[in-house]
Amino acid sequence: MTAHGSADPRSSATTHAVAELIRALRPELDVRVAFCEQNSPNLGDVLRTLDGPAVVTPLLLASAYHARTDIPAMIADSGADVIQADTLGEDPRLLHVMRERLAQHQIHQFERGLGVLVVAVGSSHAAANARTSALADTLARGTRWSGVQVAYATGPQPSVLDGVESLRRQGARRIVVAPWFIAPGRITDRVAAIADAEGMSMVAPLGAHPLVAQTVLDRFDHAVAARAAAA
């Protein structure tokens, strides 16, 4: 399982915690953790230690630069017998985790005048941003909130403050920030500082949740099945 990597130790700790959940779900699997950058072990180094076929399963939400460029390049450079699984994407299980994080923050689906600002990392890949933006409609379904807006902590528009203004125009009297991040880190800290300055609260990232581990295993299983079908 491969994560982005971060200078913030909470990020790698979350990655290892997800790996432990996967081991508990599938004790027969050889689950190894690797990172694209900043943390060790590096994915390229881990790939060069393999003595058989493997699946690189990204612990990444969006199919953006790391999934499309970095990881394939590391796999090619290693010469290992490896296939790459899909990213986690906007999986319904992850939306369930986000709703759970909101519920833990005493956010009720029938609260009127509530705006939910989903904050994600933006990408230079427009299709990845479009899929992330679709989270707003899915999360808002079945609620009486004033609105749900997706904003980006880095990269494209709308920015976090743009998202706040949009929700206020929609009539939101209270806004809660929901980070579309697996782990806390420096970016989520910056978002939290903006939220605090604007008088908003912020819920926890998705974290090392069993449904996150199940989604990783789903991507692994699909990759293995695709490889078997192509053989």
Does 67 or 17 have the greater pLDDT score?
17
Domain co-membership, 105 together with 152: yes
What mean pLDDT is reported for the chain?
Answer: 94
Domain co-membership, 53 together with 154: no
Please tell me the predicted confidence (pLDDT) of residue 31.
Answer: 97
pLDDT of 136 over the 80 cut: yes
**CATH at residue 177:** 3.40.50.1400
Weakest mean pLDDT among 12-16, 56-60, 62-66: 62-66
Domain co-membership, 104 together with 78: no
Domain co-membership, 185 together with 218: no
How far apart CA 80 and CA 78 sit, in angstroms, is: 5
How far apart CA 113 and CA 172 sit, in angstroms, is: 5
Domain co-membership, 119 together with 140: yes
Closest CA to 54 of 26, 75, 28, 71: 75
Could you give the number of structural domains in the chain? 2
Domain co-membership, 53 together with 11: yes
pLDDT of 153 over the 90 cut: yes
Domain co-membership, 106 together with 162: yes
Q: How is residue 85 written in tokens? A: 């699984």
- For residue 128, what pLDDT band results from cuts at 50, 70 and 90? confident
- For residue 46, what pLDDT band results from cuts at 50, 70 and 90? very high
Residue identified by tokens 């990759």 is: 223
pLDDT of 230 over the 90 cut: no
Q: Measured over all CA atoms, what is the biggest interatomic distance in the chain, rounded to whole angstroms?
A: 58
User: For 177-195, how does the pLDDT look when each residue is reduced to its tens digit (9 = 90+)?
Assistant: 999 999 999 999 999 999 9
pLDDT of 44 over the 80 cut: yes
Domain range holding 120?
92-202
Domain co-membership, 168 together with 77: no
pLDDT of 159 over the 80 cut: yes
User: For 77-110, how does the pLDDT look when each residue is reduced to its tens digit (9 = 90+)?
Assistant: 999 999 999 999 999 999 999 999 999 999 999 9
Closest CA to 7 of 37, 33, 27: 37
Domain co-membership, 165 together with 119: yes
- Residue pair 213/18 in contact (Cβ under 8 Å)? The answer is yes
